Amino acid sequence: MNHSTSPHPLDVLTSALVSWTAASTQIVDHMASSPNEPSYSEITAILTSLIRGTLEPLTERHAAEDVEIGARLAADAIDTLMREILLAPHDPPPRNRAERRARRGGHR
């Protein structure tokens, strides 16, 4: 019986995707606040080039087949996330004290 203490591969992938989401949000926010006011397409082009160059060493550290499998898996994971996680509208903010109390579930 295998009593491995290694995390499940989906936990590793999930953690990596969440970490990258946080970092990439900061990068895009920084780029968008540039005095040049780059457009969405400019930010996308710059970020694509930056990421591609940064990931280039992976091709030296891993076999080409492994990089290909990882790329397909990452693309499939992101497609799945984009298809399955939907944004729902927020409830409007409460207008008065009674509504705030009702949302909290009682009187305080």
Q: Is residue 107 part of a domain?
A: no
Q: Is residue 80 part of a domain?
A: no
Contact 65, 59 (CB under 8 A): no
CA distance 70 to 78: 12
Q: Is residue 22 part of a domain?
A: yes
> What are the two backbone dihedrals, phi and then psi, of residue 86, each rounded to the nearest 5 degrees?
-110, 145
100: tokens are 């705030």
Q: Which pLDDT belongs to residue 48?
A: 97
60: tokens are 């030296």
42: tokens are 């400019």
**Which ranges of the chain have pLDDT less than 70?**
1-3, 106-108
CA distance 39 to 45: 10
Q: Which pLDDT belongs to residue 38?
A: 94
Whether the model pTM is above 0.85: no
Q: Is residue 20 part of a domain?
A: yes
How many domains does the chain fold into? 1
* Residues spanned by the domain of 58: 9-68
